[in-house]
């Protein structure tokens, strides 16, 4: 009970195809279970895909027909949790008794049903969604397609002896959200990314050393040869994009900052790592950022976990 097997699913998306992406995710859930995993983690925005086109098709051009048509497709393939879009994945987690961290593009009804959010979903071993964390601040060109989230999903969850927390991509560079998770007892930090070892190589070990926790970074893959031919304005995007847009970089660092799995570049597959809770106890001996090495009488953090909405109905 002191150990946990984690599967890192570093895969190409079935890009902008919700149904096909769900089937590929289910395939990897089954692989993870057959490999003895207690938890499987997928990259940021994997379902149905990261908006790679924005940077390479003049995405900031206002009221542009090209951007409108692509965005309409993105909305169409986005996930409506309230509609039951994730039910096939929830059923697989329940059937195989495996927890899951999954990056999705969410089109939530509680924000009107049309705006898109980069959302991180945690599903427990009973197939129940325990939290949906909407990315607090989309990064750079992401702001052209994603809306800013809130603190509702900044929560931790028990998984065996471990306390799991998770953040999307460059949120992991934000000290205060990290601190909010540390203060809730996090000792297994999940960081999900669209895919690049330039992101994961430094920060994975840094967060492990700062928090004295295990840090699992999971990335996706994307190359120009995997762009579907029916993508609107395929020729324009294909002409302007690089041959590789996401090269992976999934990695795992131990609480002392050492690599358990060095960044995996360019390889699609399931990488399985075993973690041991005893290692956390040892590394918290001399530093515990929310415990014996904190000074709440000097500095404190306020966390607002209210789900933000433009409408509050009083009855």
Distance CA 175, CA 193 (A): 17
Distance CA 304, CA 179 (A): 13
Which residues are CB-contacts of 269 (< 8 A; sequence separation ≥ 6)? 10, 11
Nearest to 291 by CA among 157, 153, 163, 158: 163
Q: Which of 142, 169, 171, 210 is catalytic?
A: 169
| Cβ proximity of 190 and 171 under 8 Å | no
| Cβ proximity of 280 and 187 under 8 Å | yes
Q: Which of 24, 33, 135, 279 is catalytic?
A: 135
> Which residue, chain included where needed, has tokens 């002409």?
239
Catalytic (active site) residue 44: yes
Q: Which of 44, 106, 142, 283 is catalytic?
A: 44
Catalytic (active site) residue 106: no
Catalytic (active site) residue 210: no
Task: Enumerate the active-site residues.
Answer: 44, 135, 169
């Amino acid at each position: 009970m002191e150990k946990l097997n984690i599967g890192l699913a570093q895969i190409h998306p079935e890009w902008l195809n919700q149904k096909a992406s769900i089937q590929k995710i289910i395939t990897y859930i089954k692989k993870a279970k057959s490999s003895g995993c207690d938890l499987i983690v997928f990259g940021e925005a994997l379902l149905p895909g990261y908006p790679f086109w924005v940077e390479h098709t003049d995405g900031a051009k206002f009221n542009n027909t090209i951007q409108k048509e692509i965005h309409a497709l993105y909305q169409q393939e986005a996930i409506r949790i309230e509609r039951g879009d994730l039910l096939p994945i929830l059923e697989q987690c329940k059937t195989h008794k495996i927890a899951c961290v999954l990056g999705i593009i969410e089109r939530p009804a509680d924000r009107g049903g049309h705006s898109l959010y980069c959302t991180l979903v945690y599903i427990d071993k009973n197939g129940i969604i325990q939290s949906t964390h909407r990315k607090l601040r989309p990064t750079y060109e992401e702001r052209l397609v994603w809306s800013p989230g809130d603190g509702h999903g900044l929560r931790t969850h028990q998984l065996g002896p471990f306390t799991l927390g998770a953040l999307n991509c460059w949120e992991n560079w934000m000290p205060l959200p990290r601190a909010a998770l540390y203060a809730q007892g996090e000792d297994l930090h999940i960081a999900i990314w669209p895919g690049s070892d330039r992101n994961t190589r430094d920060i994975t070990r840094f967060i492990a050393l700062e928090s004295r926790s295990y840090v699992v970074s999971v990335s996706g893959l994307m190359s120009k040869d995997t762009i579907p031919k029916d993508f609107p304005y395929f020729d324009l995007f294909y002409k302007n994009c690089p041959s590789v847009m996401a090269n992976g970089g999934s990695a795992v660092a131990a609480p002392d900052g050492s690599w358990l799995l060095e960044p995996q570049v360019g390889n699609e597959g399931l990488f399985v790592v075993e973690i041991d809770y005893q290692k956390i106890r040892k590394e918290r001996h001399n530093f515990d950022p929310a415990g014996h090495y904190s000074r709440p009488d000097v500095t404190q953090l306020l966390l607002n976990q209210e789900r933000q909405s433009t409408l509050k109905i009083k009855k």
